[in-house]
A and B are shown apart, each in its own frame.
Chain A
Amino acid sequence: MSKRSTANGQLVRNLSTGLALFLLVALMFVAGCAKSTSSPAPESAQPTVAQGSCLECHSNSEKLKADLEKDPPPQVAKSTESAGEG
Chain B
Amino acid sequence: MPPLEADQKVLVSTSFLKTTHGSLDCVSCHGGVEPASTRKEAHKGLVARPSATANSICAKCHQAETAKIGWSLHLTNAGIVDLKNGVLAPRVNPEKLNVLQPAVDTHCASCHTSGCGDCHVSRPVASGTGFIDGHNFIKTPNSVLNCTACHGSRIEKEMLAKGPENLGLKPDVHWSPAGMQCASCHTSKWIHDPAQKSPDRYHVGEAPKCETCHVSKEGFYKNGMHAMHANPKAGTPDLQCQVCHSQPYNNCYACHVGKDSKGLAFFKTDKSEFNFEIGKNPNPTAERPYAYVVVRHVPVAEDTFAYYGQGLLSRFATQPTWKYATPHNIVKQAPQAKDCNSCHGNPNLFLQAKDVLPSELKANEKVIVTSPPKKR
Q: Which residues in A have some Cβ–Cβ distance to B below 8 Å?
A: 46-47, 50-55, 57-59, 61, 64-65, 67-68, 71-73, 77-86
Contact = CB atoms under 8 A, between A and B. Distances in A.
Given A57-B39, A79-B260, A84 B268 contact: yes
Contact of B12 (A55, A65, A85, A86): A55
B14 A46 contact: yes
Interface stretch (B26-34, B49-57, B165-173): B26-34
Interface string B241-265: 0000000001010010011101011
A46 B6 CA distance: 25
Q: Which of A72, A77, A81 has the most CB atoms of chain B within a 10 A radius of its CB?
A: A81
A54 B265 CA distance: 35
A58 B48 CA distance: 13
Interface residues of B, number: 38
A83 B299 CA distance: 13
Contact of B268 (A55, A61, A81): A81
A73 B26 CA distance: 20
> Interface residues of B: mostly helix, strand, loop or mixed?
mixed
Interface of B: 6-8, 10-14, 17-18, 26-27, 30, 32, 34-37, 39, 42, 111, 153, 250, 252, 255, 258-260, 262, 264-272
B10 A58 contact: yes
A85 B250 contact: yes
A54 B42 contact: yes
Contacts of B37: 52
Given A61-B11, A85-B250, A50 B35 contact: yes
B7 A81 contact: no
Contact of A86 (B14, B153, B259): B153
A68 B42 contact: no
A47 B135 CA distance: 15
Given A54-B34, A85-B153, 20 more contacts: A50-B35, A54-B26, A54-B27, A57-B39, A59-B11, A59-B12, A59-B17, A64-B11, A65-B7, A73-B6, A77-B264, A79-B260, A81-B268, A82-B266, A82-B267, A83-B269, A84-B255, A85-B252, A85-B272, A86-B267
